[in-house]
Amino acid sequence: MNFYTQHHKHYCGIDLHARAMYVCILDQNGTKLVHKNLPTTPEAFLRVLAPYREDLVVGVECMFTWYWLADFCAKEGIAFVLGHALYMRAIQGGKAKNDKIDAQKIAVLLRGGMMPQAYVYPAEMRATRDLLRRRCHLARKRAELFAHLHNTNSQYNLPEIGKRLANKANREDVADHFPDPSVRKTIEVDVSLIDHYDKLLGEVELYLTRSAKTDDVQAFARLQSVPGIGQILALVLLYEIQDISRFPECKISSPIVGW
């Protein structure tokens, strides 16, 4: 785990939420200069930072709301640190916990060189990575429907279906395998949803493949040249790793090194 150890004149810890953020600013000596709740707007944030902009660092825990703040700090030339949520909980501890306390703890961690860092994923590829993760969610939902279909078959102790239902042609008459009309309707609903997920996943995967060829076509091609790595796994590696150089101790001897 890497810790943020750079020294600054001012340290800003933020407990960030969707509609509000609690801001605590400390100086080099640990004196509390600001400790207040603000709306999550760039204007309010800039106003409170204005007197302390010289040599300032902003820290926030890695929650789902950090994107806009990281991008705003980058635009304004403000040092930004994304705290690793799991390690921060282990370090902070304590029974008392609220927005005000958490904001001060983040500022204290920054000032003490004890802020565990998470990777600030670049904005230009971030949305595509999120779409890839959404694709994984859709694939799981599709798999759940297949499981429900087979479980229903077992529930009524019917003969094995005997077909690979991932193949669309094998699903066309699978509902006829179930004699009860209500059960048959349930299976028809499952099959209809699977067909819809197939269409959605095909569209998403086509979009992701085109994006990968735009973002880094050489890395995408190199990944797929590795035995056992297909298109989807190559997409996952490309967008989750993003930059292999951020793993300085990685010992890999494969064609993807130095992409």
Could you give phi then psi for residue 35, rounded to 5 degrees? -155, 90
Quick one: angle between helices 66-76 and 123-155, nearest 10? 170
Report how far residue 115's alpha carbon sits from residue 120's, in angstroms, rounded to the nearest whole number: 14
Query: Do residues 179 and 201 lie in contact, with contact meaning Cβ atoms separated by under 8 Å?
Result: no
**Residue that has been written with the tokens 């699978």 in this structure:** 174
* Residues 33-55 pLDDT 10s: 999 999 999 999 999 999 999 89
* Residues 147-160 pLDDT 10s: 999 999 999 999 99
* Residues 182-212 pLDDT 10s: 999 999 999 999 999 999 999 999 999 999 9
> At 173, is the pLDDT very low, low, confident or very high (cuts 50, 70, 90)?
very high
Separation of first and last alpha carbons in the chain: 24
**Residue that has been written with the tokens 């694709």 in this structure:** 135
DSSP H or E segment with residue 108: helix 99-111
Enter the pTM of the model. 0.85
Report how far residue 94's alpha carbon sits from residue 229's, in angstroms, rounded to the nearest whole number: 45
How big is the chain by its Cα radius of gyration, in Å?
25
pLDDT of residue 243: 86
> At 94, is the pLDDT very low, low, confident or very high (cuts 50, 70, 90)?
low
CATH number for the domain whose boundaries are 3-116: 3.30.420.10
| Domain ranges for the chain | 3-116, 126-221
